[in-house]
Chain A
Amino acid sequence: MAKVFIYPATSLILSDLVARFGHKPLGAALGIRERIQTAGVDSPPLQITPEEPKRGLKYAAVEVPSGVRGRMAIYGPLIEEAGAAIIVTDADLAFGCMGCARTDELILFSLRQSGIPILELRYPTTEEEGVQFVAAIKKFLDDLEKEEGEA
């Protein structure tokens, strides 16, 4: 079973397909859950404490805004943990404020730099594209399994 980072990290479709084909999807929910379930200082709404931008220093330089470093404290460890990644290019739901936008760029950059196998797709807009979308993800995940078996 491979750990697969999904982008957009909140994607229902990617999360479901990765889990359905027997692998573990790594998305935003896991990082948020860890924070929500850890006792400490009350910091609503996401329990992002002043510690997070410090942890984010591992993934972004000190002059990068704290908003990006704080977000990277959630995504960075997941990217490190991932053995593969599935990216939906130009997903229209992956947008947000400047902090989110820059973090998204840094996530994609970090994934491409990490050298792990990456599958890039677009969301389907027709039924035939839907078939191709699901088939591509299944093939990618099956290949990961084969590689794992050989290793």
Chain B
Amino acid sequence: MMADYTPEYVGTVTRYVFIESPSMTPGELALRAYEASEGVLIKETCFGLQVTGEPESVDRLIEVIRAFDPTHIFIKDRGFPPGDPRRCRANLGGARPGYLGHEREFRILRYITRGLEELGRREGEAAPEPVPPVHEKKPLLDIKRLQELIETEES
């Protein structure tokens, strides 16, 4: 039977705040964010925060949060509100869906930080030209290897 769905937090936006900083922990970030929260819901996580509230209030808070450590704080939108039983790992067990993708990008953040710092330093100078990605052909799967894979799978 189909059940009705009544959404919560309608009209709000939720954003993730990631911090990868040598001088500030997520805990400190949360404390400083609370001081400026003005009614925006803040949830501290292991990687930073989740902020939820009216779009204008969240935008304002995000601007304040970014200023704490501009090159080490990264922000993105989230579809679900915090603690949603469909996503929260308290209900599901294991890592939250989507966490592994964040974890993967988290490792690259230090290069982005470096890029942002360098960009600030080289302001006015000509920016380095990026190397466009080369569309190299991926090697095809060898037919013998495929046969081996099928046999391993069957046995």
Contacts and interface: CB of A to CB of B under 8 A. Distances in A.
A135 B127 contact: yes
Nearest to A19: B75
* Range class of the A interface residue count: 35 or more
Nearest to B14: A33
Contacts of B3: 41-42
Interface stretch (B24-32, B107-115, B139-147): B107-115
A64 B74 CA distance: 37
Contact of A38 (B7, B74, B97, B111): B7
Contacts of A32: 79-80
Contacts of A44: 86
Interface residues of B, number: 53
Interface string B91-115: 0000001101110111011111111
Contact of A13 (B74, B97, B127): B74
A121 B130 contact: yes
Given A36-B79, A42-B2, A45-B87, A10 B127 contact: no
A66 interface: no
A46 B5 CA distance: 12
A113 interface: no
A44 B2 CA distance: 11
B112 A138 contact: no
Interface of A: 8, 10-13, 15-17, 19-20, 25, 27-33, 35-47, 89-90, 92-93, 120-136, 138-139
Interface of B: 2-7, 9-14, 16, 18, 66, 74-81, 84, 86-87, 97-98, 100-102, 104-106, 108-116, 118-119, 127-133, 135
11 contacts: A12-B16, A16-B75, A16-B112, A29-B77, A43-B5, A45-B97, A128-B128, A130-B111, A131-B115, A133-B112, A135-B115
